[in-house]
Amino acid sequence: MSVLKLGELIKKKQITSEELTGIFLKRLRRYNPVLESVVSYTEDLAYQQAKEADKLLSQGVHLGPLHGIPYGLKDIISVPLYKTTWGSTTFKNQVLNIEAWVYKRLKSAGAVLVAKLVTGSLAYDDIWFGGGTRNPWNIEEFSTGSSAGPAACTSAGMIPFAIGSETAGSITYPASQCGVTALRPTFGSVGRTGVMSLSESLDKLGPFCRNAADCAVILDVIRGKDPDDLSSRDIPFGDPFSVDITKLTVGYLDDADMEVVHVLESKGVKVVPFKLNYTVDSVQGILNFTMDVDMLAHFDEWQQSGKDDDYEAQDQWPVELRRARVVSAVDYLQVCFLLSNYWLIL
């Protein structure tokens, strides 16, 4: 059931937030041993927030479509009194008593946090200190991408929605792999205070849901200017449900899924073939170069102290960071100049 439908049930008092929270906590505990998608349960906090949501509703106060709705956060997003492990053996007991901006926004909307969800170690891929997060549609496969927990939990119906993050593919890849709808917003749409950073110029936060309408509602709640994140800004959103799609023109690439193109055409959208003036691999190479150097700046002490020897996937970040250490300032700036040419796609 969608977030919007669950929200209507709560608003009409056909179910309480406390009851709904109990249902999803049971689902999380039932399926997590198979999927390995939850780092920690926030059960005490969840019931506290659910009871508060029910109390407000009994007083005639309804905070909006997320009032009383359970959800999960990728475990790079800090919540006071609970571990924020970054998926890493080094930080698995870390508690950051900071309220992340996105958590504040959801709390003010009446949403109920039920779990911190798996992130790939240091927000890279789907390998973390507890193993590898499985794909609910085929548990012989992994979820891929560092937002593995949000994707798997939402796909399996363990939670109505979740918040994940992306630096270079960690929302889009696991969403595609796990068959859920996710939204990777434009850079700067959602504040990142209280969130582990890989790259200040690339990091983004976005929702994982079971349909596009839910994504729109959640983005509307979490977007906006974060006073402690200078890259964030208020972006006009409007009413996504009143858009006349017949006035849209959508470009499609040679390798596009033509079934999607035909659906758009059938709804009156004008679709036109489109060719990129660059290759995906060339842009990905630029992004990876920038991301590696940026990450080294954040985790320099971690690497130099030898803690990267404990990293869960030795053929990934440790190798990349050692290579990044020999990059010159000139090379880095030249790549930044190249990156500016592709800013609109970020």
Q: What is the pLDDT of residues 1-28, one digit of tens each?
A: 899 999 999 999 999 999 999 999 999 9
> Is there a catalytic annotation at residue 146?
yes
> Is there a catalytic annotation at residue 270?
no
The tens digit of pLDDT for each residue in 168-191 reads: 889 999 999 999 999 999 999 999
- How far apart are the C-alpha atoms of 96 and 77, rounded to whole Å? 9
Q: What is the pLDDT of residue 17?
A: 98
Confidence of residue 129 (pLDDT cuts 50, 70, 90): confident
Q: Which residue has the higher pLDDT, 158 or 332?
A: 158
pTM of the model: 0.92
Please identify which of the residues 170, 189, 199, 232 carries the catalytic annotation.
170
| Residue (of 130, 198, 141) closest to 169 by Cα position | 198
Please identify which of the residues 74, 107, 116, 204 carries the catalytic annotation.
74
Q: Token pair of 4, please?
A: 């919007």
> Is there a catalytic annotation at residue 170?
yes
Please identify which of the residues 88, 121, 146, 147 carries the catalytic annotation.
146
- How far apart are the C-alpha atoms of 267 and 122, rounded to whole Å? 42
